[in-house]
Amino acid sequence: MASFQLKIFVFLAGLLVLVGEANSALHRIPIQKSPNFKRSHKNIVAERDFVQQKYSRQYTANGYPTEHLSNFDNFQYYGNISIGTPGQYFLVQFDTGSSNLWVPGSSCTSTACEDHQVFNENQSTTYVANGTTFSITYGTGSVSGYLSVDNVGFAGLTVQKQTFGEVTTEQGTNFVDAYFDGILGMGFPSLAVDGVTPTFQNMISQGLVQSPVFSFFLRDNGSVIFYGGELILGGSDPSLYSGSLTYVDVIQTAYWKFQTDYIKVGSALISTFAEAIADTGTSLIIAPQTQYSQISQLFNANSEGLFECSSTAYPDLVININGVDFRIPAKYYIIQEGYICSLAIQSIDQDFWIMGDVFLGRFYTEFDVGNQRLGFAPVNSAVSLSQVLLWRISTVLLACGIWKLRN
């Protein structure tokens, strides 16, 4: 009897290790969550202005009124990467709405650099100078500096000779309070400042990922502090979503832009065939102005987007992609502060929608670079940190068990 149980145990353990091995084509980076994250009306308005500037960069200035971004509490997700040899560690925001990697350099004396990790070229044996100047505008400020080349490590992979921005000046960006040091852009190469090849494109050409795909599992308002989800390189993990992915083609390879079939609030039709962008660097949902006005009228919101919370239930926001409804319950897109409610939907002066974390936190998103398409599926809400930990610990324990049995 005991030997039968032993056989079962060894069989199960072997199965688990096999499953683990099958999954090793995927490289995972834990996403951390800002401990200060708070979606308040003030943060939402500040973020709207930041997003307006982010998306105006490629277009002509339009005189849109801007408010100084007072905090970065809306930017909730970031992860740990290394640059150089030996690795110097940085927390970066993984941003599908831009395409450059930048971190503060050691010659930066701006306040924002003082509070963050800085890259020291002299302490890396693989550093190569480039020296071309670069500058990116954010909100009312900018980050600027010069390009450098070095190895970049994340998720156990090392990208050789990645060109990145070493920031020497951060002016008025208020990245001072940000929990991350820099940004790692995951948009398409055509968006990249100075024509720099983005990190993921180098990963593909250096054969580091089995498949030219990455995906985000973001836990918006997850119950576990610090565990914000995972960025997965090389594919998708079906255990993190329910059902199957709904695919839609990317219609412009700059941003991750796709076409929706329709967008509704409850039964009220807001738009048909609207274009939208999947942007992990934005926390809100951003609508074009006409559609935003329609939504705000439904709630009787004032010009600031504020309205008195009603006791009746609010409808879902429904985004139909390739024939499938993606529903966002009201509690995720309406922020309640006392009796006052506000929308986590804002508008900027663009003709497309931007789907930030309010959307991406509900739907696992696959960014398929090879096939130029996006895949969406509801996140598997059953996945909790304790389950993830339990799974990993049991795999290790069982592997140890096998080792003991064999020796």
Ligand X SMILES: *[C@@H]1O[C@H](CO)[C@@H](O)[C@H](O)[C@H]1NC(C)=O
316 is catalytic: no
What's the closest the beta carbon of residue 330 comes to ligand X, in angstroms? Answer: 9
What's the closest the beta carbon of residue 180 comes to ligand X, in angstroms? Answer: 9
Identify residues 94-153 at the interface with ligand X (CB under 6 A).
106, 120, 122, 130, 132, 147
Q: What is the DSSP letter of 357?
A: H
Tell me: does residue 7 bind ligand X (CB under 6 A): no
What's the closest the beta carbon of residue 28 comes to ligand X, in angstroms? Answer: 14
Q: E-strand spans in 236-372?
A: 246-249, 252-253, 256-259, 262-265, 268-272, 275-278, 285-287, 306-308, 317-321, 324-328, 334-337, 340-343, 345-347, 353-355, 363-368
Q: Which stretch binds ligand X (CB under 6 A): 16-24, 34-42, 189-197, 272-280?
A: 189-197
> Judged by CB under 6 A, which of 127, 332, 352, 359 binds ligand X?
332
Q: Which stretch binds ligand X (CB under 6 A): 46-54, 192-200, 280-288, 391-399?
A: 192-200
What is the spatial distance between Cα 248 and Cα 322, in angstroms, rounded to a whole number?
A: 6
Are 83 and 151 in contact, with CB atoms under 8 Å apart?
A: yes
In this structure, the strands spanning 324-328 and 268-272 are unpaired
The first and second tokens of residue 100, run together, are: 């450059």
Tell me: does residue 195 bind ligand X (CB under 6 A): yes
What's the closest the beta carbon of residue 100 comes to ligand X, in angstroms? Answer: 10
Identify residues 219-238 at the interface with ligand X (CB under 6 A).
221
The first and second tokens of residue 26, run together, are: 């995927």
Residues 6+ apart with CB under 8 A from 131: 146, 147
User: Which member of 150, 181, 220, 279 is catalytic?
Assistant: 279
Identify residues 50-89 at the interface with ligand X (CB under 6 A).
80, 89
Cβ neighbours around 155 below 10 Å, total: 21
What is the spatial distance between Cα 174 and Cα 116, in angstroms, rounded to a whole number?
A: 12
Of 248 and 355, CB closest to ligand X = 355
What is the spatial distance between Cα 67 and Cα 50, in angstroms, rounded to a whole number?
A: 8
Tell me: does residue 331 bind ligand X (CB under 6 A): yes
Phi and psi at residue 20, to the nearest 5°: -60, -40
Are 255 and 191 in contact, with CB atoms under 8 Å apart?
A: yes
Sketch the per residue contact string, 18 through 57, with ligand X: x for CB under 6 A, - otherwise: ----------------------------------------
What's the closest the beta carbon of residue 332 comes to ligand X, in angstroms? Answer: 5
Are 288 and 352 in contact, with CB atoms under 8 Å apart?
A: yes
Of 55 and 77, CB closest to ligand X = 77
Of 272 and 336, CB closest to ligand X = 336
Of 181 and 368, CB closest to ligand X = 181
Q: Output the CA–CA distances (angstroms, integers) from residue 189 to 159, 193, 201, 245, 403, in the order listed.
A: 16, 9, 8, 25, 46
What's the closest the beta carbon of residue 281 comes to ligand X, in angstroms? Answer: 19
Q: Which stretch binds ligand X (CB under 6 A): 49-57, 194-202, 291-299, 306-314?
A: 194-202
In this structure, the strands spanning 141-154 and 340-343 are unpaired
In this structure, the strands spanning 77-83 and 373-378 are unpaired
Are 354 and 283 in contact, with CB atoms under 8 Å apart?
A: no
What is the spatial distance between Cα 334 and Cα 329, in angstroms, rounded to a whole number?
A: 9
Q: Which stretch binds ligand X (CB under 6 A): 191-199, 236-244, 251-259, 390-398?
A: 191-199
Q: Which stretch binds ligand X (CB under 6 A): 4-12, 188-196, 376-384, 391-399?
A: 188-196
95 is catalytic: yes
Tell me: does residue 363 bind ligand X (CB under 6 A): no
User: Which member of 95, 150, 181, 357 is catalytic?
Assistant: 95
Size of the site for ligand X (CB under 6 A): 16
The binding site for ligand X (CB under 6 A) comprises: 80, 89, 91, 106, 120, 122, 130, 132, 147, 163, 194-196, 221, 331-332
Residues marked as catalytic: 95, 279
